[in-house]
Structure 1
Amino acid sequence: MSSPRPGGRPGDEQAPGPLWSEPGTLLEQVAVAVLGIDEDGRICYWGPGAQRLFGHEAPDVLSRPAAVLFPAAPLDGAGAAERLAERGRTLGYWRARVPTLHRDGRVFDCGFRVFPVTGAEGRSVILGLASESAGLDRVKTNLAFLDALFATCPIGLVMLDENLRYVHLNQALADMDGTPIEDHIGRTMAEFMITSDGGEYQRMLRAVADEGRTVVSTLVVLRTPGRPDREQVRSVSFFPLSRAVGSRAGVGGLLVDVTDREQALLEAAAGRQRLALLDRAAARIGTTLDVNVTARELVDAVVPEFCDASVVEVVEWKDEREVFDPESVLLTRRIAAGTCLPPPAPELVGGLERVTYPPGSSIHQALTTGRPVCVPVNADFMTRTVIHQARAQLLVDSGLTSLLIAPLIARGTVQGITMFGRSGGRPDFTEEDLSLAGEIASRAALSLDNARLYSRVQDIALTLQRALLPTAVASGPSVHVAHRYLPGSQATEVGGDWYDVIDLPGGRVALVVGDVMGHGVPAAAAMGRLRITAKALARQNLEPDRLLEELDVCAQDAGIAYATCLYIRYDPPTGLARIANAGHLPPLLRRANGTVESIDEVLGVPLGVGGVPFRTTEIELHDGDTLALYTDGLVEARGVDIDEGMAALRSRLEGMTGTLEETADGILARLLPEAPTDDAVIVLARIRREGLGDVPA
């Protein structure tokens, strides 16, 4: 044996021995003594472990007979030291338990392993490794117990490292997860325990690893990728591994499947999830009066939490009074769809706008009964419900295995259907799921019906408003006019903004702009009434203040509580414009030299108030002057102060360089947001003085 820095030769001072152990290893838990016996039976090597095991320091035993380590030999036989040396040389390796003598006189059992090595100068040395038998028995017992525990224990056992990755687990836990042991190693526990607790389970594990907390018999509801169709309840206990007995830092755990025992807990958890989904759906569906937005909100509320795919379809009735006939073909229009599945599922749900269902389909069944139905995606469903072979193949390839069809019925009217689909990776729909889908569909149907009715009223109001507003305003020799009317966004009802340009006797021209408070059909009807009345009164050549007084009486008779109106009568021969105002925003006048002024000398009360006289003011207009009449929707928007809007309008007028049409478009583009919330009107009138030649328009 080559000599590796011996730790116990004559003259050595506490040098490390040839065998030593790092902290925390098995050798530190079980003392191992290393000693050498030469050819003369004397101790020629004494390691630090030997000193700890036998109690002798190296100087006390080196060069002494090895018999000093054992009780006296029996009278009729060789001593223990002689037997160990002889068996080591003749057998090459021998192990035995031998009574051993401690320096303090205590005798204890010791396990020896002896074998020959070649020492310095070719001399033969018997090297002995010795450990106290009690320590060896304890370690062997513990190891045997742990091996048996991991092999046969019906409770799930796991060791995780500090990053909560699997280091060791038993077959019982692998069976619970439905995934082989080898597929766990190196992956995190979060990958195998799918919970819906908002991350509370992972935070609990992290606290055990980071803060040394202990968790005992905590119940957790979960699913695993290996068993996605089975919801489990586990009783889990976790404790920190703080490098005890050489273990690495991390977490140890025991997991017991108590699903059968805790079925009530599963049902309660599922019930809470359904209620939470219903609450979220109620809050998210119907936030606007837009049919398409409402349908999209329904799909977003259920995918992926409740299902893997969903569509919303409305029935295409030819006549609103038409009643659903289960014996007739049903035509629907798909207005919303969504899925979390990979292709071709997106093409399946989103690749078709109009759908035809033959009589006897599952859709007819749901609409006939008025209750949700659950159907498997099988050959029978394909035959009865799906007409096109290509669509049927897409459905098969999508991975969807079951469909829940819920009718959309509100106020006794069939609005359409919504379908929820699940793939094989989810459990089938239950009776509770049918009830939940019916509740969600019922609420969605009411929102869709409200949106449909609103859209109809909106269409009526918009049609009425367009019929009452001027479609074209002729420019005469004295006034060139550009006008724009922009309705509010689809989410806003039609307003009561109106304007007109009226030719009067004697070559005069009247410019009118007004705004009725409110929205919808009432506002549009009131606007039309005031516009027609104003036009009739203007042609009687009334003074502006007198015209507004008559218009005010008309508003009161019609029950119009609040409306504004600005009336300007321009006389080209004199160049004078007479102006009266009933609570409307003052007109702006851009002079030919580019300066802009506000005509706000007369600001009367709105129409419909009554009891307050109106006044008329007079200004002189010149060639190239431009009057700007507008409504508040142009200069006042949500989040924008009206003074800012007025300043922006003045700026655009001051800098106008193109034609009136270009200026009108530029004003709308500059002042209005992408989705205006109110109607907006702008009327630009450029003055031409009679007999003074044309001014470029």
Structure 2
Amino acid sequence: MTSQRSTSEWTVIARQQAAVAEIGRLGLRGGEFDELLTETLDALSAGMGADAVMLFELTPDGASFSVRGVVVDGRTIVGPDVGGVRIPAGLDSMPGFTVLAGEIVDAPDLLGDDRFSARAPDYHMRSRSAVAAPVGWDDRPWGVLAVYTDDRRRWSTDDLHFVQSMANTLGLAIYRSEAARASADSAARLRSALDAERAARADAELGRKRLHILSELSSSLMSTLDADAAVRAFPYFCVPQIADVCLLDLVDDAGCLNEAAAAAIDEETLETARELRTRRRDLGERGGLWNEAHVARTGERVLLAEIDTRALEAAAEDEAHLDALQRLDPLSSIVVPMVARGRVIGVLSLVSTAASGRTYDEDDLSLVQEMAERAALAHDNGRLFASRHRVARSLQSALLPPALPVVPGLDLAVRHRVAGDDTEIGGDFYDMIEMGDRVWGLVVGDVCGKGPDAAALTGLVRHSVRAAVVRERLPSRVLAQTNDAVIDQIGDTSFCTATFVRVEMGDADGPVRLVATSAGHPAPLLLRAGGHVEVVRSGGVVLGVVESPKFADVEVLLAPGDTVVVYTDGLTEARRSDEQFGEERLTEVLRDLVGRSADDVASVVMEQVEAFADGAGDDRAVLVLRVRPASGN
């Protein structure tokens, strides 16, 4: 079962992916290596929350490492042999062990790790945890990229993937740099140097193409949290750049593979590829050149570097099958699992045909696997985001009334906005309750925090208010009983501000009587029909802090055309740099809205606050009550 991720974790993942894309872009640009190295070390330090980052370079004899670059104590230093330190190779050090392993190595606790003898503390470093990835190309080790923290840390799969991706990108850049240096050898070696340069240019161009594809793909995947959109766009990064056919299948809840996206160089080729995939499904794992279901079940990668006529004939079950294979005319194929957080969520199939003449090798297989992993992670992130969005919206809806009631003689409107992304559950709430014949109560509140705890407190306060109005007339008594419920059932770290207003409609020609009380909440504002704004102020401590608090009831009479605005502090505390929107600015906005409907007042107030604020800020809610004039406007 996939664990739920917090918004902060999604933010870290997005920043890490952006960092890989940016380093890939710098590698493509082919600038100074030290500039790329500085950017790489800084990006790793920020993206991993590291206390130190080091790039170790193997000495020519392979017996030790020198330090090529380091981030420590907030400073970045790059250059040949930084500090003149020598680290032993082999099992005498973590970098040496990483080169021998040929893969990423993580050490949650360096002091307790007996895989290598020399550890960071032996070199006067405070580090307790580390992760190291080999840097190189082909089968040639160049060095090791390592990240350290001063405390013990269990590294996540995302952390390891981030470090390895940065090491791979850096390895390609080093390769290009060394190839360029090789072309500048002495005149006596000019012919061999020129040959090496031609080969290096070809390899560098291939590497540039791969970096470009990965960079563009990462940018596209990071631009959306829509799981379906992430996979729909994927085939167009493959066709025709690296494939003539791309089929992307996802595993459904029943464990079956279904097409999620597909592309080919033309419609006829795509239809033939789909026909052959249907045949493979019908044959099961016993037939066809390859089988997506087998890849999904085992997680194995498939590279068919060369597909000849004999391979087609051996794979065909009958003449119709062979005819379809010959129409597709495949030359090479790659099929890889799409793995996210240790779970196969789909299968990616690429086919090269005689139309392009390309064939695939192990480097292509690695590139396609990297692309598949990025797409899988983006899809899984989108799926998790959508799930959290549905839960948050469902819970948020349950905490608010579906609509304001229709009250003869009153014009009502509300606006409510949750700060943050769509997975947040806001802390602001409102409700309106019938208390008797032509008597209504309305409450606007703001609980401490966000998320499940805030939702629990919101639900408790809202239902406690509804229970209290059955027994109590005075707003002060309603909030007093609500306070008792909060103290009895919620811990002492949670609290809530609220304003409760009792509205008595009275006779048809008489004034509307309003009685209000507040528990640490912004005072309601009363916009008189003549344009004057009054503050309906009543002091009171926040709910859930002290037992038996005293709340004061304030009574005002409303005439036709008068408007009452009850709001949360997200409006007045909205910020632009060091300046708040404030009660005074809100009062000025209301003066310009005299005679307007409740819906107009609520809309304009919220729009003015949003236009003023320079960031997401806090949750915001405003409830507007207007006594209809005799004409009914």
**Cα deviations by residue, 1:519-555 (Å, 9 ceiling, x for unpaired):** 3444334322321221111222243233223222322
Distance 1:372 1:233, change over 3 A: same
Distance 1:437 1:501, change over 3 A: same
| Segment drifting more, 438-447 vs 257-266 | 257-266
Match of 1:517 in 2: 448
Match of 2:603 in 1: 665
Distance 1:260 1:665, change over 3 A: same
Match of 1:409 in 2: 339
2:496 is aligned with 1:563: yes
Match of 1:369 in 2: 298
Map 1:284-303 → 2, pairs under 5 A: 290-292=225-227, 295=230
Measured in 2, the distance between the counterparts of 1:518 and 1:312 equals 45
Measured in 1, the distance between the counterparts of 2:461 and 2:483 equals 9
Map 1:304-383 → 2, pairs under 5 A: 307=242, 315=250, 317=252, 320=253, 322-324=254-256, 330-334=257-261, 358=278, 359=281, 362-374=291-303
Instruction: Give the deviation of 1:684 after TM superposition.
Output: 0.9
Instruction: Give the deviation of 1:590 after TM superposition.
Output: 1.0
Question: Which amino acid in 2 is paired with 1:548?
Answer: L
Question: Which amino acid in 2 is paired with 1:620?
Answer: V
Map 1:17-36 → 2, pairs under 5 A: none
Instruction: Give the deviation of 1:644 after TM superposition.
Output: 2.1
Measured in 2, the distance between the counterparts of 1:292 and 1:495 equals 24
In structure 1, runs of 5+ residues without a counterpart are 1-194, 202-220, 222-230, 240-251, 325-329, 339-343, 385-391
Distance 1:453 1:539, change over 3 A: same
Greater percentage in helix? 2
Structure 2 SS opposite 1:504: strand
Distance 1:419 1:513, change over 3 A: farther
Question: Which amino acid in 2 is paired with 1:515?
Answer: D
Measured in 2, the distance between the counterparts of 1:669 and 1:347 equals 49
Higher RCO, Cα 8 Å, sep 6+: 2
Match of 1:607 among 543, 546, 554: 543
Question: Which amino acid in 1 is paired with 2:603?
Answer: D
Measured in 1, the distance between the counterparts of 2:422 and 2:431 equals 27
Match of 1:554 among 485, 491, 495: 485
**Cα deviations by residue, 1:634-674 (Å, 9 ceiling, x for unpaired):** 55557566732655643442222442223333444444369
**Cα deviations by residue, 1:268-289 (Å, 9 ceiling, x for unpaired):** 9799989989997999698699
Measured in 2, the distance between the counterparts of 1:200 and 1:396 equals 45
Distance 1:452 1:197, change over 3 A: closer
Structure 1 SS opposite 2:424: coil
8 Å contact from structure 1 (residues 582, 614) kept in 2: no
Question: Which amino acid in 1 is paired with 2:486?
Answer: A
Match of 2:380 among 434, 445, 449: 449
Distance 1:474 1:196, change over 3 A: closer
Measured in 2, the distance between the counterparts of 1:292 and 1:587 equals 43
Measured in 2, the distance between the counterparts of 1:404 and 1:285 equals 22
8 Å contact from structure 2 (residues 411, 597) kept in 1: no
Question: Which amino acid in 2 is paired with 1:684?
Answer: V
2:398 is aligned with 1:461: no
8 Å contact from structure 2 (residues 245, 352) kept in 1: no
2:532 is aligned with 1:595: yes
8 Å contact from structure 1 (residues 302, 310) kept in 2: no
Distance 1:425 1:490, change over 3 A: farther
Question: Which amino acid in 2 is paired with 1:455?
Answer: A
Structure 2 SS opposite 1:539: helix
Distance 1:600 1:346, change over 3 A: farther
Match of 1:631 among 563, 568, 581: 568
Match of 1:684 in 2: 624
In structure 2, runs of 5+ residues without a counterpart are 1-26, 34-137, 139-175, 285-289, 317-323
**Cα deviations by residue, 1:489-508 (Å, 9 ceiling, x for unpaired):** 75441323321111213532
Distance 1:288 1:521, change over 3 A: farther
Question: Which amino acid in 2 is paired with 1:457?
Answer: R
Identity of aligned residues (%): 27
**Cα deviations by residue, 1:364-407 (Å, 9 ceiling, x for unpaired):** 343133134345798999x99xxxxxxx99x989xx97664432
Give 1 or 2 for the bigger CA radius of gyration.
1
Distance 1:284 1:294, change over 3 A: farther
8 Å contact from structure 2 (residues 413, 599) kept in 1: yes
Measured in 2, the distance between the counterparts of 1:264 and 1:671 equals 62
Structure 1 SS opposite 2:427: strand
TM-score when normalising by structure 1: 0.49
8 Å contact from structure 1 (residues 568, 579) kept in 2: yes
Map 1:396-435 → 2, pairs under 5 A: 404-410=334-340, 413-418=343-348, 428-435=359-366
Map 1:32-431 → 2, pairs under 5 A: 196=28, 198=30, 235-237=182-184, 256-258=191-193, 290-292=225-227, 295=230, 307=242, 315=250, 317=252, 320=253, 322-324=254-256, 330-334=257-261, 358=278, 359=281, 362-374=291-303, 404-410=334-340, 413-418=343-348, 428-431=359-362
Measured in 2, the distance between the counterparts of 1:301 and 1:605 equals 60
Instruction: Give the deviation of 1:291 after TM superposition.
Output: 3.8
Instruction: Give the deviation of 1:442 after TM superposition.
Output: 4.0
Distance 1:238 1:678, change over 3 A: same
Give the aligned CA root-mean-square deviation in angstroms: 5.7
**Cα deviations by residue, 1:187-211 (Å, 9 ceiling, x for unpaired):** xxxxxxxx9561569xxxxxxxxxx
8 Å contact from structure 1 (residues 331, 356) kept in 2: no
Structure 1 SS opposite 2:376: helix
Distance 1:237 1:282, change over 3 A: closer
| Segment drifting more, 483-492 vs 578-587 | 483-492
Question: Which amino acid in 1 is paired with 2:30?
Answer: G
**Cα deviations by residue, 1:1-56 (Å, 9 ceiling, x for unpaired):** xxxxxxxxxxxxxxxxxxxxxxxxxxxxxxxxxxxxxxxxxxxxxxxxxxxxxxxx
8 Å contact from structure 1 (residues 289, 491) kept in 2: no
Question: Which amino acid in 1 is paired with 2:490?
Answer: A
Question: Which amino acid in 2 is paired with 1:558?
Answer: I
8 Å contact from structure 2 (residues 183, 194) kept in 1: no
Instruction: Give the deviation of 1:686 after TM superposition.
Output: 1.0
8 Å contact from structure 1 (residues 464, 525) kept in 2: no
Query: How many residues are matched?
Result: 432
2:558 is aligned with 1:622: yes
**Cα deviations by residue, 1:331-371 (Å, 9 ceiling, x for unpaired):** 2434xx99xxxxx86999999xx999531575334313313
**Cα deviations by residue, 1:556-580 (Å, 9 ceiling, x for unpaired):** 3134713322211233447443322
Distance 1:332 1:616, change over 3 A: farther
Instruction: Give the deviation of 1:465 after TM superposition.
Output: 2.4
Measured in 2, the distance between the counterparts of 1:367 and 1:568 equals 61
Instruction: Give the deviation of 1:462 after TM superposition.
Output: 1.4
Match of 1:584 in 2: 521
**Cα deviations by residue, 1:671-695 (Å, 9 ceiling, x for unpaired):** 436996765432110136xxxx736
Structure 2 SS opposite 1:495: coil
Distance 1:237 1:646, change over 3 A: same
